[in-house]
Structure 1
Amino acid sequence: MSKTSRTVVSMPKTAAKGEIVPIRVIVQHDMESGFRHTERGVRVPRDIIRNFVCTYEGVEVFRADLHPAVGANPTFSFFTVATQSGTLEFKWSGDNGYASSVTSQLTVTG
């Protein structure tokens, strides 16, 4: 099942060739660990993002595997080098068939 998550991607729209590009992605997700119980003692089922991948023109530049100890709305901060104008795709998947993605464009100058 594919769902849309509220996602915020912070990165420059342009960069000089060879420049280091900072990227920050925040994914809105409750990240239920499976260890919490309701007031009535019923266990809340686990529902976490299990992995996050960023590709730049189809080449993987960042990957993270997540575990139940990660808090809600995880934030990923990393860097890549501006090599060519193109698309960065951010994909994540998790429990219960959860999957979503978003893209950003980077224009490389010089």
Structure 2
Amino acid sequence: MSRSSRAVVTFSNQVKRGELFSIRAIVQHDMESGFRHTEQGVRVPRDIIREFVCTYNGRLVFRADLHPGIGSNPIFIFDAKADQSGIIECKWSGDNGYLTVLQQPITVL
């Protein structure tokens, strides 16, 4: 079953050519490890984000593989170098068909 959740990506939308700028990406997700049990003893199924990928005009900027030990609502903060105006795309994918994609424009001065 595919589902999405609230995600936020922030960065300065206007950057000078050649400058480094920070990208912050956070997604709201419980990151259920699959190791917990309910009060009735039933195992809670695993439901985690497995991969985060960020591209800048189609070129890979940052990639992370996630595992059950990652806490809920994972946040990533990383830098990229401004070379041309275009699109920053962040994509989270995971168990049970989970997919969230955000695209935001960036203007390079």
What TM-score, normalized to structure 2? 0.96
Q: Which residue is equivalent to 2:66? A: 66
Structure 2 residue 57 is the aligned partner of structure 1 residue 57: yes
Q: Which residue of 2 aligns with 1:94?
A: 94
Partner of 1:41: 41
Q: Which moved more, 1:4-13 or 1:81-90?
A: 4-13
Query: What code does the residue aligned with 1:87 have?
Result: I
Gaps spanning 5+ residues in structure 2: where?
none
Could you tell me which runs of 5 or more consecutive residues in structure 1 were left unpaired when the two chains were aligned. Answer: none
What is the aligned-residue RMSD (CA, Å)?
0.9
Query: SS of the residue aligned with 2:96?
Result: helix
Mean Cα deviation higher: 92-101 or 15-24: 92-101
CA distance in 2, matches of 1:2, 1:107: 33
Number of the residue aligned with 1:105: 105
Deviation at 1:54, TM superposition (A): 0.3
CA contact (8 A) 2:93 2:100 kept: yes
User: Percent of aligned pairs with the same residue?
Assistant: 62
- Give me the TM-score of the superposition, normalised by structure 1: 0.95
For this pair of structures, how many residues does the alignment match? 109
